[in-house]
């Protein structure tokens, strides 16, 4: 999923061959648990935002151990896909996130940009001029579909089976950003005539896509939208299995600058989405089974922040403790008791953060390259 404004994201992932074990976090577009082996953990950070280079750090040595080229990391936390232009062609490559090893690549004629990747990294959507799209099977190294669209479209994502392409159709508007959610049936090579919409919702929506995450099981695409005209924030929850979208409104009413501070984090079991905003002083828990806000917790709003948006949070493997940040300093949310603690001072802008081995520590990488560690239970700086 491509976003017009960068999103800083990170993950903690154990080094080694991917297996059925669990660790917490993953790079944009997701957060929450990742399938990976238990053991020494690494910190993954995209210092230049979504779609940029992924830098990988060892919290013990406090050194960068490897980097991955600009691209999109998959929602299941296993893969990273990149598309690099070379004169009149584009090289699409697939990397294993746990080791950074190149697992395969293919060449597509023409210069394309990467806009969407399926949850397991098998399919990737490449776009040029907003009207031409190719869907490639990265595993089999072949072009699976070619299509030309009429209008201004943006790829949201590709379904896990590679049969459906989810799109945002941008509409002309005098004021604000208006859009429709569309589905392209790749198995039939046709754009479904009716826009996707939730029960009781209009087919045309208004808002600016700000950030988003996908669930590791490939079911959900969860996008934060901001309505600049009405100063509203909402989550666009798209059920990829049922092709069903629904808007879930978040605590709002402040300035656009404050709304930009919302960050999204998925629970380890994928059942709840946490929308955190230190600038407003609110945490909203969304139950994805009902797609409703199940609980809202208020706390004193933050005064200090850095950058243009909040970072993707990091959550403990038991789903109880969530750390989040508006770009400077850290907050902790106890999901069992609905209590927010902090702020825990970082002394500068934060590029990324995440739980360490055993969820006992939280490591934060500052924008100046300094790596800090905190006691996860108390927030005390170590």
Residue 2 maps to a domain: no
Token look-up 């940040």 returns: 325
Residue 248 maps to a domain: yes
Residue 5 maps to a domain: no
Q: pLDDT tens-digit profile of 306-358?
A: 555 567 788 888 889 999 988 888 999 999 999 999 999 999 888 888 888 77
Q: pLDDT tens-digit profile of 193-238?
A: 888 877 777 677 777 777 788 888 888 888 888 877 778 888 988 8
Most distant pair of Cα atoms in the chain: their distance: 57
Residue 18 maps to a domain: yes
Residue 305 maps to a domain: yes
Residue 69 maps to a domain: yes
Domain count, the chain: 1
Residue 220's domain comprises 10-375
Single out the residue of 301, 304, 308 nearest to residue 254, CA to CA: 301
Q: What is the pLDDT of residue 216?
A: 80
pTM assigned to the model: 0.82
Helix (H) or strand (E) holding 334: strand 328-334
CATH of the domain at 328: 2.130.10
- Of 23-27, 88-92, 283-287, which gets the smallest average pLDDT? 23-27
Residue 382 maps to a domain: no
Q: pLDDT tens-digit profile of 111-143?
A: 999 999 998 889 999 999 878 999 999 999 999
Single out the residue of 306, 297, 307 nearest to residue 276, CA to CA: 297
**8 A C-beta contact, residue 45 and residue 72:** no
Number of H helices, E strands in the chain: 1, 33
Residue 113 maps to a domain: yes
Q: Report d(CA 9, CA 28) in Å as an integer.
A: 5
């Amino acid at each position: 999923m491509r976003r017009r404004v960068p999103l800083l994201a990170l993950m903690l992932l154990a080094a080694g061959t991917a297996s059925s074990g669990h660790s917490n976090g993953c790079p944009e577009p997701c957060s929450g648990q990742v399938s990976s082996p238990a053991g020494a953990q690494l910190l993954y950070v995209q210092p230049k935002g979504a779609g940029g280079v992924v830098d990988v750090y060892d919290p013990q040595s406090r050194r960068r151990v490897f980097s991955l080229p600009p691209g999109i990391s998959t929602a299941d936390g296993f893969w990273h896909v990149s598309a690099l232009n070379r004169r009149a062609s584009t090289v699409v490559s697939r990397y294993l996130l746990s080791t950074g090893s190149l697992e395969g690549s293919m060449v597509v004629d023409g210069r394309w940009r990467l806009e969407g990747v399926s949850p397991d990294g098998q399919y990737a959507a490449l776009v040029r001029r907003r009207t031409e799209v190719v869907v490639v099977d990265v595993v089999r190294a072949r072009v699976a579909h070619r299509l030309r669209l009429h209008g201004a479209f943006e790829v949201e994502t590709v379904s896990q089976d590679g049969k459906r392409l989810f799109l945002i159709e941008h509409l002309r508007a005098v004021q604000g950003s208006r859009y429709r959610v569309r589905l392209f049936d790749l198995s039939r090579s046709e754009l479904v005539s009716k826009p996707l919409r939730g029960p009781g919702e209009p087919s045309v929506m208004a808002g600016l896509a700000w950030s988003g995450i996908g669930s590791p099981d490939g079911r959900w695409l969860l996008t934060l939208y901001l309505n600049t005209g009405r100063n509203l924030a909402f989550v666009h929850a798209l059920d990829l299995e049922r092709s069903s979208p629904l808007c879930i409104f978040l605590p709002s009413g402040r300035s656009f600058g404050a709304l930009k501070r919302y960050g999204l984090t998925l629970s380890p079991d994928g059942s709840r989405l946490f929308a955190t905003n230190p600038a407003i002083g609110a945490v909203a828990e969304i139950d994805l089974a009902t797609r409703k806000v199940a609980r809202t917790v208020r706390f004193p709003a933050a005064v200090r922040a850095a950058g243009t948006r909040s970072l993707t949070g990091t959550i403990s493997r038991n789903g109880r403790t969530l750390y989040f940040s508006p770009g400077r300093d850290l907050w902790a949310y106890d999901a069992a008791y609905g209590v927010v603690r902090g702020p825990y001072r970082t002394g500068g802008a934060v590029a990324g953060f995440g739980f360490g081995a055993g969820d006992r520590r939280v490591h934060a990488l500052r924008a100046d390259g300094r790596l800090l560690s905190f006691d996860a239970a108390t927030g005390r700086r170590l």
